[in-house]
Structure 1
Amino acid sequence: MKITKVLLSFAVVAISLFAVAQSVSVKTIEEYNSLLPVWGTSWSPGAKSINGYYPTFYTGFAMRQQAPERIHVRVSRGNQTRISVILDDQALTDYAFDLVKRYEVYRALTKGPGAKLNVNPSGSKLLPQLDLYNQIIESPNYDILGLVDRASKGAESAESTYAKSLNILRALNPGRVFILNLNLAQEFAKWKTQVQQSSGGNAAKITGNPQETIIAINTLLFGRVNYTQKPSADVMAKLTKAITLATNGASDNEFTMAALDLFVAVTGSKYDFKVVNNQGHWQKALQCSSASSCYLSYPEFTAIYPTGSVEEKTSDEFGNRINAFSTPGLWQFLSRSGGREVDNIRNEPYYGFAPKMDYQDIGNGFHNPAVRFWDPSKAVKQALGLNPGHNTYWAVKRGGVSHGCLRFSIGGVWEFRQIIPVENSKMTQVSFFGNRAQDFDLYDIDGSGELKVMGTEYFISYGLQGADSTARREGKGLEINADKKYDFYVDLYGAKNVFSLNEKQEYVFANPRISLPSYLDFKKASVSTRLQIPGQYRLYEQAYEKDKVQMYAIGEMTPQNKLIARLMGRVRGCAPTSNKQQCGEAAFDQELKSLVK
């Protein structure tokens, strides 16, 4: 078992606090995070556990997005999944109300004689995360309850509610909310140069080739179009016009307006919403009147999760052996017969009674780590900041581990469920973009104009105790590699002609390839359109979002209790001014009433 020394300074504080965690007072998200393990989560089961496991619910602070087209899910080389969410005015206006609705529902289901969920089952040792969540909601540092109270009474304007909710979201999700101000004229000018080269002055070289068409459409605003439909005649006409103007010396204004027309056609309603500007007034997110004034301005949430993949290897063009993916291509989440909706709760205890969200008919989907460690050593507990009294540890392996599914941490899978829509009918409209195993996720995450290779600060690997179904759920050989990052990345990305360290000791990737999954690849487990991006690109390593979940006992996992466990990922609150049918609150309230009486 390999243990890093780098994490110890962070973990010592956590260990000292765990002894008094039940009585710790927190007012900030930083204080909450300081009480959690560095990576993964831990507990000790009691008599009310199910094969040593407990169901959980989410105690983090991500928002919910009810519009499927504004959610982008992509897995890529390096074993991470990026979820980027366009934050429209509806998502932000509802945000504080959603936090408070969860606060109220959690309290109703865990307190008093009618409580359904026991968050302190006898004989167990669990992290008191619900208490920590409640303290953040009640904290004067964020004034969440105050904002909701004032807005409910009409004492906050719509603009103020939006702006304050955005500030709260940013504060509670440090490093994951970005205020973008994209100069579309500049982006379209880059595209102009690209299509001039690829078309050679003949638009038909692009429009007559399906792969070239997909490249042209999706690079119009790199990483933020993600077009999934077969291009219509109208889209093809607009593409032809934009390419023709790009190559025949048209004025900047004429070309920019044609490119904008194409952009609106291929993004649909994705960017059709309003934002509050720096003067505190509403304006459209997309403001474009000429080549000298053409901007797309909005906030975006991006989370990057370490991901376990199929236990197989493949090779890149340089002969590097890297982790394979079972499901490259374009997918949508599935609803199945027998009431098994997208956020299905499986019977097997090792799934942790958390959502298993499938996108392939044979059963591949996103789910929890599904591998645990019994009785981790004192050194492991110290390195990771685990409670000394806990005897069970759960963490996702960033590497090959599954038969084909993609695995998240338990906090990550519940956060994923929190982000996507409440209703099953909308969940099935969320698209999943699976890169080829050889291809990177290149993205301008903060709108700075610099593309970076997406990654995450997470360095856990391990093996399995055996090949049979039981042994595959028990881990061995836990490796915590934070002080051996270079070696970890060599194994993860490959060594030959892939990356190097620059003079600032930053990881830099050379000429990465990207995947552009499209309608050509829908449900085909392949990607037909790829693109190599010349140049040197720095690695972006997002800090790991600590697992924020509350474990609880509910008795036997009967069909009724499975529905209650599923319901915990559907809790939804909206602003008084919101349409309760559209925002998802009515659907949740109806289901709550039918299940909890």
Structure 2
Amino acid sequence: MIKRWMWLVCFVLMVAWMLPGAASGLTRDRWTNEVPYGVFFNNYDPNFYTGFVPRVQERERIKIHLGKGNQIRVRMILSDKTIDNYLSDQVARHDLYQEVIDKKVIKLTSNLSWEAYHQKVMDEKLHDLAKKKGELDEKAWRDLNLTSMDKLAPGRLYHIQKDFNKMEDDFAKLLKNSLISDSPKPDNLQDKLNLINDFFPHRIFLYELTETQDAAFGELVDLAKSGDMEAFRPKAEAFFDSITDGIYTVKNGKLDYYEFTTIYPAGTYDKTTTHDGQVMPMYTTTGVWPLIPRKHGKGITGMVDYISSAGYYGMMPMLPYQYGGGIAYNAIHNPGISCWIGGHHLLPKSWRKVTANSRSGKPYNRVSITSRGPVSHGCTRLNPGHLSEFREMLPSTSEGMEGIKHYRSLSHCYDVFDLKGDGNDQVMGVQYYIAFRHTKSRVAQQIWAQNNRKDFYTWLYGNDLNFAPVGEATFNEIHDYKFKKRKALQGQKYENLTLYEAPYEPEYLQFYVINGVNKLSKQGMDFNRELRRVGYGYPVDRKKLRLE
């Protein structure tokens, strides 16, 4: 009887440990770090982006990753068109905002982000720079765009340069070493994928092979085994081009291109799980998921950049990747709640007096912040300014966004990446230390940890991390992730990797109302969506913007 009682106690404790909150001792304590995060505002008004990221119109050049640590990494491989149109796009977007403001199509509310953005455009003389397109040669114009991008969106542009001949040599050696003398070729799909993805580690996430690719791979294995590099090289380059959708240009044996990489804190499913005795946020939707149009829901549907009529979704796009039945979708969206600042028991009291960027000069009513931890019903939540920026980077149209791949790891697998393409592998993270749970009525109720770096990392990473100053914290032993037929799997083991802590990106967002138009009407929703679509190759619909 005693043994049975003890077994029941252990079982109850084990179940309790698995429930949200058991790992951290969720509390109703007030956050002690008073540094403001998120977006302060007054009402759920439409909004537009006021930063300077580039827009990429080719879906195959955009890769989205979610790894342990609750952060989204967006990597964009910049095409010549993206680079050459950067300044022109920035000016076109600014001028469109200016026009709808000057013609009183919209009235600005809540904050002063437009004024700061406009002043930045003027100070940097972007209009004058854009006019240089007809004066400079092709290289000088390209360099001007790249320099401007790096200055206006600092710390996120990476110049990747690789000796492709050496990459081919290394790949041939890898294939040859994978074979034991007189053994058959690798015939297991996972073994093949492991080898192929190591052709360009962390930048190829192939999860299936077409018959043509499989045959080409078999031929490469034969050539590698024979040592015939003269025949191997051109076929390896063609194979590389095939498995990467032609997004990397190889010239004269060199791989030379630019990437734009951004990391945002993210909220995930409101539950924890355990792995190797450690409790962590649970990722329920794992694997490879493409962005899809929302065909069911409240309001106007049928597009990837769907905007909900529910105010707490911030009057900004929700980007679906999984249909959940009925009108439910899992999507990348805003925090899904906002916090009334006055009297809130979790928010630092000093936030009640925040007036920075306030259009009225008075303190704000609300703040919208995401929880970097378990919080959602299944979606992936970003801060409102980050979601707005994320949407700005994606193709202009819904059709252009459809199919963008979203790679989601197992709960315990980290996002390991070398930002400069130099083999310096690091675990991706971000300097954001807020995590909370909210009630069914969407009121932030409990915190997972205090909002300082040490306490937050103790909760988020547990014993995996050796805590140290930024840039010096390391992990003893971790795994990354890989995929097979869209299914997420545990990947390679690493030891003593450094934690890369991306800066918390400022949130650039301006609120407005459309004069004479209900924001929830079809005209209001069309306007909201269209104002976010400025980009090369896309003719803005001026009728939807009430300019014609």
CA separation in 1, counterparts of 2:235 and 2:173? 15
Contact 1:4 1:383 in 2 (8 A): no
Aligned CA-pair RMSD = 2.7
In structure 1, the residue matched to 2:401 is 427
Larger CA deviation: 540-549 vs 183-192 = 183-192
Q: What is the rounded CA distance, in whole Å, between the counterparts of 2:320 and 2:279 in structure 1?
A: 27
Partner of 1:303: 262
Residues of 1 paired with 2:542 and 2:174: CA distance? Answer: 53
CA contact (8 A) 1:2 1:479 kept: no
Change (3 A) 1:222 1:383: farther
What CA distance in whole angstroms lies between the structure 2 residues aligned with 1:504 and 1:156?
A: 41
Are the aligned partners of 1:369 and 1:409 in contact in 2 as well (CA < 8 Å)? yes
Which of 39, 42, 54 is 1:41 aligned to? Answer: 39
Q: Contact (CA 8 Å) 2:294, 2:320: kept in 1 or not?
A: no
Change (3 A) 1:134 1:189: same
| Residues 1:269 and 2:227 aligned together | no
Say if 1:2 and 1:480, in contact at 8 Å, map to a contact too: no
- The superposition leaves residues 392-435 of structure 1 with CA deviations (integer Å, 9 ceiling, x where unpaired) of 11111100100000001111111111111112221113111111
Relative to structure 1, the CA distance from residue 540 to residue 138 in structure 2 (aligned partners, 3 Å threshold; closer, same or farther) is: same
Per-residue deviation, residues 441-494 of structure 1 (Å, max 9, x unmatched): 111111232111111111111221x2x3xx2x22134578453x2332232233
The answer to whether the 8 Å contact 2:426/2:497 transfers is yes
The answer for the alignment partner of 2:146 in structure 1 is 166
Cα pair 1:306 1:408 within 8 Å, conserved: yes
Point out the structure with the larger strand share: 2
Question: C-alpha separation between the residues in 2 aligned to 1:440 and 1:530?
Answer: 9
Provide Cα deviations, 1:194-249, integer angstroms capped at 9, x if missing partner. Answer: 4455443577453x111122222222101222335x4233322332233344445x
Query: Of 234, 240, 255, which residue of structure 1 is paired with 2:218?
Result: 240
Distance in 2 of aligned mates of 1:384 and 1:458: 22
Q: Aligned in 2, Cα 1:65/1:172: closer, same or farther, shift over 3 Å?
A: same
Q: Alignment partner for residue 105 of structure 2, among 98, 106, 116?
A: 116
Task: Find 1:538's aligned residue among 498, 504, 519.
Answer: 498
Matched residue, 2:6: none
Cα-to-partner distance string for 1:513-567 (whole Å, 9 max, x where unaligned): 222235x12xxxx42x432234321111110111100011235321210111111
Conserved 8 A contact 2:175-2:195:
yes
Q: TM-score, normalised by structure 2?
A: 0.84
Any residues of structure 2 matched to 1:193-212 within 5 Å, and which?
A: 194-201=174-181, 204=184, 206=186, 208-212=187-191
Cα 1:381–1:402 change in 2 (3 A) is: same
Bigger mean CA offset, 88-97 vs 552-561 = 552-561
Helix, strand or coil: the match of 1:415?
helix
- Residue 162 of structure 1 and its aligned partner are, at CA, apart by 1.6
Structure 2 residue corresponding to 1:378, chosen from 349, 352, 360: 349
Which secondary structure does the structure 2 equivalent of 1:85 belong to?
strand
Could you tell me which residue of structure 1 aligns to residue 533 of structure 2? 570
Report the counterpart of residue 64 of structure 2 in structure 1: 73
Answer whether contact 2:354 2:364 (CA < 8 A) is retained.
no
How many Å separate the matches in 2 of 1:592 and 1:334?
Answer: 26
Query: How far 1:81 moved relative to its partner?
Result: 0.6
1-side partners of 2:97 and 2:176: how far apart? Answer: 57
Match of 1:409 in 2: 383
Structure 1 residues 313 and 86, CA gap change in structure 2 (3 angstroms)? same
Is the CA contact (8 Å cut-off) linking 1:62 and 1:419 kept in structure 2? yes
SS in 2 for 1:224: coil
Shift of 1:500: 2.2
The answer to whether the aligner puts 1:493 opposite 2:461 as a matched pair is yes
Distance verdict in 2 for CA 1:136–1:202, change over 3 Å: farther
Query: 1:265 Cα deviation (Å)?
Result: 2.5
Which secondary structure does the structure 1 equivalent of 2:160 belong to? Answer: strand
> 1: distance between equivalents of 2:260 and 2:449?
28
- The share of aligned pairs that are identical, in percent, is 26
* 8 Å Cα contact 2:353-2:363 kept in structure 1: no
Distance 1:223-1:73 versus aligned 2 partners, 3 A rule:
same
Aligned residues of 2:69 and 2:414 also touching (Cα < 8 A):
yes
Q: Which residue of 2 aligns with 1:60?
A: 51
In structure 2, relative to structure 1, the CA distance for the partners of 1:263 and 1:408 (3 Å cut) is same
Asked if 1:224 corresponds to 2:195, the answer is: no
Q: Is the 8 A contact 2:48 2:531 kept in 1?
A: yes
Letter of the 1:474 counterpart: V
5+ long unaligned stretches in structure 1? 12-36, 46-51, 121-125, 273-285, 289-293, 575-582
Secondary structure of 2:203's match? coil
Task: Indicate if the aligned counterparts of 2:449 and 2:455 stay in contact, CA closer than 8 A.
Answer: no
CA distance in 2, matches of 1:163, 1:458: 33
Displacement after TM superposition at 1:341 (Å): 0.4
Contact 1:307 1:398 in 2 (8 A): yes
SS at match of 1:506: coil
Q: Which moved more, 1:62-71 or 1:378-387?
A: 378-387
Deviation at 1:297, TM superposition (A): 1.0
* Structure 1 position 287 matched with structure 2 position 238: no
CA distance 1:499–1:192, change in 2 (3 Å): farther
| Distance (Å, rounded) in 2 between the aligned partners of 1:502 and 1:399 | 22
**Could you say if the C-alpha distance between residues 93 and 412 of structure 1 is closer, same or farther in structure 2, counting changes exceeding 3 Å?**
same
CA–CA distance in structure 2, aligned partners of residues 391 and 197 of structure 1? 63
Instruction: Tell me which residue corresponds to 2:543.
Output: 593
Cα gap change, 1:225/1:94 in structure 2, threshold over 3 Å: closer, same or farther? Answer: same
1:324-354 superposed Cα distances (whole Å, 9 cap, x missing partner): 1222111111124464300001110000110
Residue aligning to 1:476:
445
The correspondence of residues 513-552 of structure 1 with structure 2, limited to 5 A, is 513-518=479-484, 520-521=485-486, 526-527=487-488, 529-552=489-512
- Match of 1:512, SS state, is strand
Q: Secondary structure at 1:436's aligned position in 2?
A: coil
Query: 1:553 corresponds to which residue?
Result: 513
